[in-house]
């Protein structure tokens, strides 16, 4: 057996403690992203782990963001998580990552694939991670309201991901996207226009079809998101806002989505879809669509052109009628007077 002097052992233990404390302080205050992270993103600084309502999380920010950005983002993220828990009930606690990048190249690296240009934030299930494309210099350049909307949308996905492990399979895409948009921002002007275009072109989709077109073209994707939001709005309109928490309570008891929906709503998913489609067509019937200011603005140039061509056509028709009646001013009518109206509004006889 080898014996070490007591002072040497104490010195080694103290040194190890100092190194460990220094590493912990560096992790808390910020350190370079390890090489093993997606794409070897050495331009990001990591903070944490932090304890939050959803569980422990690591925070990654661009290295050129000011140190105040960490506290700002943590406050918004944890407030958003508390909002979801208070509204929908408890959720399983698990570690996850919150990543803010400031280039689309970094966004692709952290998500693992190229994304359509209109996507600026993503929530992944495996690994559990939220990635947000932030401004170039500082996340606080965006208004607090906008950041809350973005995180509320993506954290809703994280919440829903955690509802169904070992509980009957994933939730349908229309519910995922519809609820996330419904509680974060609602229908915006772009989605409203997409619904108008869908009604004018008779291109509404069933709920089952929506899952296949979320990430196709920007036009179809916008319509798919818009219809999903209308579906979530319809659930609240038909059954009350509490239907979402009731639905999640049934899922927590072990039911898959369809039977949990029936228990929470009091009618089947098929019955809901019939009512939802009727509501969608009723809200966007042709008369209401044509009365929409957006549609009138779009149609205004065509209406002006139509009025111009109608006026030209009428002028030509009058000229042709005059010519047929002998007032066209041709050679055969050179000596013929054209009737006119005198001051007493009576035609003066010819000759």
Question: How many Å apart are CA 206 and CA 174, to the nearest integer?
Answer: 10
Task: For residues 159 and 137, state if they share a domain.
Answer: yes
Sort strands 129-133 and 121-124 into parallel, antiparallel or unpaired: antiparallel
User: Which residues on neighbouring strands pair with residue 16, listed in sequence order?
Assistant: none
* 54, 111: one domain: yes
Q: What's the CA gap between 291 and 333, in Å, rounded?
A: 51
If we measure between CA atoms, which residue out of 319, 233, 320, 211 comes closest to residue 284? 233
Based on the domain organization, do 150 and 257 belong to the same domain? no
Evaluate whether residue 22 is within a structural domain.
no
Evaluate whether 76 touches 100 at the Cβ level (below 8 Å): no
- Indicate the SS3 state at residue 321: helix
Instruction: Work out the angle at residue 160's Cα, subtended by the Cα atoms of residues 190 and 114, and round it to the nearest 5 degrees.
Output: 55
Residue 221 has a pLDDT of: 82
Asked whether residue 322 is domain-assigned, the answer is no
Give the separation between CA 194 and CA 171, rounded to whole angstroms. Answer: 25
Q: Whole-model pTM? A: 0.71
Residues 117 and 138 in one domain: yes
198 and 144 share one domain: no
Question: Which domain-ending residue is among 104, 128, 163?
Answer: 163
Pairing mode of beta strands 129-133, 96-101: parallel
pLDDT along the chain (351 residues), means of 10: 46 42 39 43 82 94 87 93 95 93 90 83 92 79 73 95 70 93 88 84 84 67 90 96 95 91 96 93 66 56 74 79 64 48 47 44
Single out the residue in 146, 163, 180 at which a domain terminates: 163
Task: Looking at the structure, tell me whether residues 154 and 181 fall in a common domain.
Answer: no
What's the structural domain count of the chain?
A: 2
For residue 142, is it within any domain?
yes
In a domain, 115, yes or no: yes
Which residues share a beta bridge with 2?
none
Residues 157 and 52 in one domain: yes
CATH number of the domain that residue 91 is part of: 3.40.30
d(CA 303, CA 212) in angstroms, rounded, equals 37
Q: Does 16 map to a domain?
A: no
**Residues 118 and 232 placed together within one structural domain of the fold:** no
31 and 154 within one domain: yes
Whether residue 178 lies inside any domain: the answer is yes
pLDDT at 112: 85
CA gyration radius for the chain?
A: 33
Q: Are 85 and 78 in contact (CB under 8 A)?
A: no
Residue 150 and residue 85 in one domain: yes
Q: Is 174 exposed, middle or buried, given 0-12, 13-18 or 19+ CB atoms closer than 10 A?
A: buried
- Same-domain check for residues 215 and 106: no
In-domain check, residue 7: no
**How far apart, in whole angstroms, are the C-alpha atoms of residue 231 and residue 182?**
9
Residue with tokens 């002998």, as numbered in its chain: 326
Domain end among 163, 193, 215: 163
Q: Is there a single domain that holds both residue 260 and residue 143?
A: no
Count of CB atoms situated within 10 Å of the CB of 100: 23
- Inside any domain, residue 342: no
Domain containing residue 119 = 27-163
Give me the pLDDT at residue 311, please: 79
pLDDT for position 12:
43
Angle (CA) 184 82 164, round 5° = 75
70 vs 61: CA distance, rounded Å: 8
Residue found by looking up tokens 């993220």 in the block: 77
Q: How far apart are CA 50 and CA 76, in angstroms?
A: 13
Q: Who's near 272: CB < 8 A, 6+ residues apart?
A: 234, 235, 238, 261, 265
Query: What stretch of H or E contains 284?
Result: none
Sheet holding 55-62, edge to edge: 31-32, 44-52, 55-62, 96-101, 129-133, 121-124
């Amino acid at each position: 057996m080898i014996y070490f002097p007591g002072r040497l052992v104490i010195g080694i233990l103290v040194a190890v403690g100092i190194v460990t404390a220094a590493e912990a302080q560096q992790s808390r205050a910020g350190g370079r992203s390890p090489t093993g992270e997606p794409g070897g993103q050495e331009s990001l600084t990591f903070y944490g782990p932090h304890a939050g309502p959803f569980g422990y999380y690591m925070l990654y920010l661009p290295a050129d963001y000011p140190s105040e950005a960490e506290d700002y983002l943590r406050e918004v993220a944890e407030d958003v998580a508390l909002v979801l828990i208070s509204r929908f009930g408890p959720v399983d606690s698990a570690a996850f990552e919150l990543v803010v990048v400031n280039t689309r190249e970094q966004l692709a690296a952290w998500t693992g694939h190229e994304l359509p240009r209109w996507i600026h934030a993503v929530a992944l299930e495996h690994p559990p991670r939220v990635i947000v494309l932030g401004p170039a210099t500082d996340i606080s350049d965006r208004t607090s309201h906008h950041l809350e909307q973005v995180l509320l949308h993506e954290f809703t996905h994280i919440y829903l991901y955690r509802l169904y492990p070992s509980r009957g399979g994933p939730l349908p895409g229309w519910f995922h996207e519809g609820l996330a948009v419904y509680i974060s921002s609602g229908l915006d002007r772009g989605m409203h226009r997409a619904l108008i275009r869908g009604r004018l072109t008779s291109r509404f989709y069933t709920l089952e079809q929506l899952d296949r077109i979320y990430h196709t073209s920007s036009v179809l994707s916008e319509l798919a998101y818009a219809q999903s939001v209308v579906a979530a709005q319809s659930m609240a309109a038909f059954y009350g806002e509490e239907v979402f928490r009731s639905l999640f309570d049934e899922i927590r008891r072990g039911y898959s989505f369809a039977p949990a929906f029936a228990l929470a709503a009091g009618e089947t998913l098929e019955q809901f879809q019939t009512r939802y489609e009727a509501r969608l067509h009723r809200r966007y019937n042709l008369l209401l669509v044509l009365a929409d200011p957006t549609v009138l603005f779009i149609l205004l140039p065509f209406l002006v052109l139509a009025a111009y061509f109608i006026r030209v056509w009428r002028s030509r028709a009058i000229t042709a009628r005059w010519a047929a009646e002998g007032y066209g001013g041709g050679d055969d009518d050179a000596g013929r007077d054209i009737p006119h109206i005198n001051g007493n509004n009576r035609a003066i006889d010819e000759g």
